[in-house]
Structure 1
Amino acid sequence: MSSSSRNQESTIVAAPVWDLIRSLEFKWWTQVTTAKVEGTAAEVGSLRTVTFKDGTVQKFKVLELSDLDHFITYEVIESNPSAQYFSAVHTLRLRKVTTPKEQTFVEWSSEFATENSTANVVEDSKFKKREAFEDLVKHI
């Protein structure tokens, strides 16, 4: 029997970052070595093959993309080695902060369908997001 677990992290970045996030290539995240786009980057249904520093290769499918509301939702459809969860859907959502200076509020949420290691999956997701946010801030 599977259950669902959720993780959500957020940060403030001192610049507009939608163009960096939108491509879903993670050029700002030091844990990602390569990201190959299959299809048109701005297209729902397009795929990303993302290779991480530890050798993990995952394939993501874009489920939603909004240039108006600045969010992208994607699903992990393949993982080598296998992940500890049955499925994962992630959303990166950005909101403009205008005062005291232009900044971006970035929220990254993940929904996991898991059978085992629910707490471990959520904790790992939390720390990876926090590391990625540190990299995003440094990239700017």
Structure 2
Amino acid sequence: MAKVYISDVIDAPLDKVWNFARDFNGHGDWHPIIEKSEIEGGKPSDQVGCVRAFSTSDGGFLRERLIAFSDKDHFFTYEILESPMPIENYVASFRCTQITEGDRTFVEWWAEFDVAPEDEAEIRQRVGRNTFAAGIRAIAERLD
């Protein structure tokens, strides 16, 4: 099983970061590689079980289901249902934690998934750098 873990600090208070990032469908508005995203069936984007379907700037199409969500603990977890990437059993989590000194927020985004050894390096780059790291930086830029 492959693992990817990215963390960073956003120079904004926890409530501000979480209120912005908690929208499971919001990535279509701020993530640089997401072209269009919608929640299937008109469900709320914080309802466990909702599915977001989205397209990426490189022509990909993905569907992901929200499998855990907590405003109290500032995290959500989701799984990929459909993806052009050669992966299986993909589960990812996004979490925000208050940094007590300086009123900043520690943001973590990680995933575990099965991938063939010959594809692992490329997929780890796509998920880690191109998706998670780029997404955290995009949130930070939007909140400046």
TM-score (norm 2): 0.86
Decide whether the 8 Å contact of 1:86 with 1:115 is kept in 2. no
Alignment-derived partner of residue 48 in structure 1: 52
Distance apart, 1:34 and its partner CA? 1.4
| Aligned with 1:13 (options 10, 13, 16) | 10
Higher helix proportion (structure 1 or 2): 2
Spell out, residue by residue over 1:45-89, the C-alpha distance to the aligned partner (whole angstroms, 9 max, x if none).
00101211112111010010011100000011012xx21212311
The separation in 2 between residues aligned to 1:121 and 1:30, in whole angstroms, is: 18
* Letter of the 2:106 counterpart: F
85, 88, 92: which is aligned to 2:87?
Answer: 85
SS of the residue corresponding to residue 58 of structure 2 reads coil
Partner in structure 2 of residue 114 of structure 1: 115
The residue type equivalent to 1:90 in the other structure is A
**2:141 equivalent in structure 1:** 138
In structure 2, give the amino acid aligned to 1:91.
S
CA distance in 2, matches of 1:119, 1:54: 19
In the alignment, which residue of structure 2 is the partner of 1:70?
Answer: 74
Question: Cα RMSD (Å) of the superposition?
Answer: 1.3
Structure 2 unaligned spans of 5+ = none
After TM superposition, the score normalised by the length of structure 1 is: 0.88
Q: How many residues align?
A: 134
> How far apart, CA to CA, are the structure 1 residues paired with 2:68 and 2:78?
7
Quote the residue 1:29 is aligned against: 31
Identical residues among aligned pairs (%): 25
Preserved CA contact (<8 Å) 1:71 1:91: yes
How far did residue 43 of structure 1 move? Answer: 0.8
**Which residue type is aligned with residue 107 of structure 2?**
V
